């Protein structure tokens, strides 16, 4: 599937060819801190599937709870999370952050990981009162 996306301010843009079956939710504490949200949704792909244009993203690397270093790619101006990549043997293991993808409504998660740190209310959202806008 061909997708395209951008950060919130629009200075970083990209196009990619992805497998819509490889959409994953991560409940790890790093994703919670980096996003400010209870979980993160990412399309898993390889580096050559993505073509980045515009301003080059800024990167930040840190070892996760599994001991592997992950690199976070984000817009240097607006801070929007855009990609993740690995290092060494995993340097071609990339991911695209769901919220930056223009076609994200068509990308449904197929699996979730690090459920042990999931917010305890994560399955209760359907019970909350809701309204279509603020």
- Return residues touching Zn ion (CB under 5 A): 7, 9, 11, 26, 28, 31, 75, 77-78
Tally of CB atoms within 10 A around 18: 22
Q: How far is the CB of 115 from Zn ion (least distance, A)?
A: 11
Q: How far is the CB of 93 from Zn ion (least distance, A)?
A: 13
Q: What is d(CA 83, CA 49) in angstroms, rounded to the nearest whole number? A: 12
Q: Which two tokens stand for residue 99?
A: 């919220």
Q: What is d(CA 120, CA 41) in angstroms, rounded to the nearest whole number? A: 18
Nearest residue (CB) to Zn ion, 1 versus 69: 69
Nearest residue (CB) to Zn ion, 38 versus 49: 38
Q: What is d(CA 45, CA 63) in angstroms, rounded to the nearest whole number? A: 20
Q: How far is the CB of 70 from Zn ion (least distance, A)?
A: 8
Backbone angles phi and psi of 28, in degrees to 5? -70, 160
Q: How far is the CB of 108 from Zn ion (least distance, A)?
A: 18
Would you say 53 and 14 are in contact if contact means Cβ atoms under 8 Å apart? yes
Nearest residue (CB) to Zn ion, 28 versus 96: 28
Nearest residue (CB) to Zn ion, 7 versus 96: 7
């Amino acid at each position: 599937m061909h997708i395209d996306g951008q950060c919130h301010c629009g200075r970083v843009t990209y196009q990619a060819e992805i497998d819509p079956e490889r959409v994953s939710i991560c409940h790890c504490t790093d994703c919670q801190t980096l996003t400010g949200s209870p979980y993160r949704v990412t399309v898993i792909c390889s580096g050559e599937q993505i073509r980045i244009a515009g301003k080059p993203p800024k990167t930040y690397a840190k070892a996760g709870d599994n001991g592997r270093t992950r690199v976070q790619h984000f817009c240097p101006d607006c801070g929007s999370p855009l990609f993740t990549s690995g290092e060494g043997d995993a340097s071609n293991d990339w991911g695209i952050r769901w919220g930056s993808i223009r076609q994200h409504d068509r990308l449904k998660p197929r699996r979730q990981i690090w459920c042990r740190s999931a917010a305890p209310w994560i399955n209760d959202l359907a019970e909350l009162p809701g309204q279509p806008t603020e």
